[in-house]
Structure 1
Amino acid sequence: MKNILLTTACLLGLFASTARAEIKLSDVCRIKGQEENTLHGMGLVVGLKGTGDGDSKTTMRALARYMELMGHRIGNDPKGQTMLDELKGVKNVAMVFLTVTVPAGGAQQGDLLDCKVSAMSAKSLEGGYLMLTELHGPVPGDSTVYGLAKGQISIDDIVRSQTGTISGGCQVEKKFQNEFVKDGKLLLVMNKDHATFQMTNLVEQNINRERDFSLGSSNEGVARAIDQVRVQVTIPPTYADNPALFASVLMETRVGRPQTDTTVIINERKLAVIVGADVEIGPVAVMHKNRLIQVGGEQVNQFVEVNPSADTQKPKLAALVDALNTLKVPAEDVIDIVKMLKHKRALYGELIIE
């Protein structure tokens, strides 16, 4: 019999000790403009061992165009169309799709970035070499060339040899960097795990309490929560000439954590349950193998009361799980009981099943 992978007392203590701890602003949000971007392009890989897709008309047209740019023109038929038949039987070339991730801080001209290569229809890219290829920005239709990619392809996983990487294969040709200041303001974007109205208002309050962020004679704070995701921050006059310094100081600002933790996470594969310290449940009685576990409500005969010293008007899920562990209830049964509580609307919190 497997026990549930949860030591309730330890976890409860951990949540209680950290629930009100302070964290840095950079732990819960980012400044808009400081996010990763992707460059993309399509190119040709040569030098394959007969695993290419040279029979594809798309690949043949691309190869003919590339050869034309290099000064080797393919003949035309009587209608003026390129005679692609001359390229039939080419097995060592393949059409590929290229992606390059630009880090959150942007990229400067001359920077070298890793390039991911994915085959369109080739069987394998092993041994292939990417011909010089233009890379464009993340917005479709933008013809600006931000980088040039070329180089020997390394296969990351031999089982998936249709994809590979060119280490430092992209050279940035045009500075790529998002602006982080607009009209004298910064925009904070909450991480998805902290995107709540409670958190954005907490961020607003903590920023406005900083004396160094004063707007001068105005009583208005520099920060304003827009919604559950965004907080707008006006750059104070003292930092007007150095917004980068203000951004650095701002992201180091300490922010109190939310006062409650009402999330329950279940990992069924690992038989693990993590219970927030503030997850409450309705008065329930759970029967398991002739034992009655009761939380809240009126007492009945032959019961095991959970945490009798606690406030029975607000029974906690952690106490119930602890009691189930004490009675050596199997992990699978504990998980099913938690699910049933949620189904019966007796679990007052968010249940996440991974």
Structure 2
Amino acid sequence: MIRAVLLSLGLLVAATTATADRIKDMATVAGVRSNPLVGYGVVVGLSGTGDGDSGLTLQSMQSMLSRMGLAVEVGDIDASNAAAVMVTAELGAFLKEGQEIDVTVSTVGAAESLKGGTLLMTPLMGADGEIYAIAQGNLIVGGMGLSAEDGSSLTVNIPTVGRVPNGGTVERMVESPFQNAESLILNLNRSDFSTAANVAEAINNVFGGGVAVALDGTSIQVRAPVDLDQRVSFMGLIENIQVTPDAPAAKVVVNSRTGTVVIGGEVLVTPAAVTHGGLTVQINEDFNVDQNATVTMNDNQTVIAPGQPTITPDSQLYLNQDPAKAFLFDPGVSLASLVDAINAVGAAPGDLVAILEALREAGALRAELVVI
């Protein structure tokens, strides 16, 4: 009976043709996420591009060989073909024991390249210190590094980072509240009270009143079936319900480093007058040089001795002021009118930021100004 109800509800959701976003694209299920893993390992098989005499790598190789029953001294080990690395991976939600994941390998020592290397068995731990996966395999390195005897070198991309596709094997599953929780929580990607209310209302319109409750501007609590099979079908239907999100808050975002300005569609301006003009000052420096001389008479002969030259600065100042341009914003001016008015006076990105800041200080800009 429940399956029949879910099927009919699914047809109802599929028949909805409203222009809106799917809940799948607007929210995530609380607790259903990936978990980062990290481990320390050794890559071997390098062609002389390893860590060399790095103490960290030599100690790691000595420890590894001792676990295999070999007694070696650090001085007997050459790490030119080995490198100490950090291994990272993402343990996706619902991954089970035996499934494989991709791992990323990055050098921590003086290795120049990991090309051609093989990652030895490395345990990957979670934030709680428990081992959740084991990584091992041949590396794929997209970068390349070349060097010559005269000290010149060429590096393409990053040769000190590589990946091992499907190089990690999951050894332990992370428990998720999806299986055991009485209710599921949907968290919106963008917090908004109106959108949260719209999502709860849309779910209740499909499954009946009281199924979904908006807890705050981010979270919506949804009662879910106890049976796991029905719960999966239930969430699949919820993800495809279409909801019209509420318009975002009015914001003007300014990137102070690049001069990029993004103005939201809800930005309005109250009555205000803006004057914009440019002042150009140009100074040309020049010098007039007069050569002084001393004239003396000696035995009916005239002797001219050069003296110290006289240097007189000759500066020219040019001042050019563009006529100030003023424009007036009427009550409730929209985004299009605001942009057209500012572009009409030929404002540069820096001038645009100054105008927006002045409008905000005057209380005429009905939006939040965010500088990143």
Instruction: Bin the TM-score by the shorter chain.
Output: 0.7 to 0.9
Name the structure 1 match of 2:365: 347
2:272 to 284, 295, 320: 284
Larger Rg: 2
Which protein has greater RCO, CA pairs closer than 8 Å, 6+ apart?
A: 1
Name the structure 2 match of 1:295: 329
The 5 A counterparts of 1:183-198 are: 183-191=181-189, 194-198=190-194
How much has 1:45 moved relative to structure 2? 0.9
Name the structure 2 match of 1:133: 121
* Matched length: 298
CA contact under 8 A between 1:22 and 1:255: conserved in structure 2? yes
Structure 2 residue 182 is the aligned partner of structure 1 residue 148: no
Name the structure 1 match of 2:205: 209
Name the structure 2 match of 1:86: 76
Return the letter of the residue paired with 2:205.
R
Do the aligned partners of residues 235 and 145 (structure 1) sit closer, same or farther apart at CA in structure 2, a change above 3 Å counting? Answer: closer
The 5 A counterparts of 1:6-21 are: 21=19
Structure 2 residue 273 is the aligned partner of structure 1 residue 255: no
1:228 to 217, 223, 232: 217
Unaligned stretches of 5+ residues in structure 2: 1-17, 145-155, 278-323
Do the aligned partners of residues 286 and 128 (structure 1) sit closer, same or farther apart at CA in structure 2, a change above 3 Å counting? Answer: same
CA contact under 8 A between 2:57 and 2:79: conserved in structure 1? no
Q: Any idea what the Cα deviations from partners look like across 1:295-352, whole Å, max 9, x if unmatched? A: 24xxxxxxxxxxxxxxx2x333542222222444444422331233234443222334
Do the aligned partners of residues 130 and 177 (structure 1) sit closer, same or farther apart at CA in structure 2, a change above 3 Å counting? Answer: farther
Q: Any idea what the Cα deviations from partners look like across 1:247-280, whole Å, max 9, x if unmatched? A: 1111111112214551223456775543323212
- TM-score for both structures, normalised by structure 2: 0.70
How much has 1:241 moved relative to structure 2? 5.2
CA contact under 8 A between 2:84 and 2:109: conserved in structure 1? yes
Do the aligned partners of residues 156 and 31 (structure 1) sit closer, same or farther apart at CA in structure 2, a change above 3 Å counting? Answer: farther
More strand by share: 2
Structure 2 residue 356 is the aligned partner of structure 1 residue 338: yes
Name the structure 2 match of 1:171: 169
Q: C-alpha separation between the residues in 1 aligned to 2:205 and 2:99? A: 40
CA contact under 8 A between 2:126 and 2:132: conserved in structure 1? no
CA contact under 8 A between 1:125 and 1:164: conserved in structure 2? no
Do the aligned partners of residues 137 and 32 (structure 1) sit closer, same or farther apart at CA in structure 2, a change above 3 Å counting? Answer: farther
Q: CA RMSD in A?
A: 2.9
Return the letter of the residue paired with 1:223.
A
Return the letter of the residue paired with 2:187.
V
Identity %: 27
Do the aligned partners of residues 42 and 343 (structure 1) sit closer, same or farther apart at CA in structure 2, a change above 3 Å counting? Answer: farther
CA contact under 8 A between 1:45 and 1:128: conserved in structure 2? no
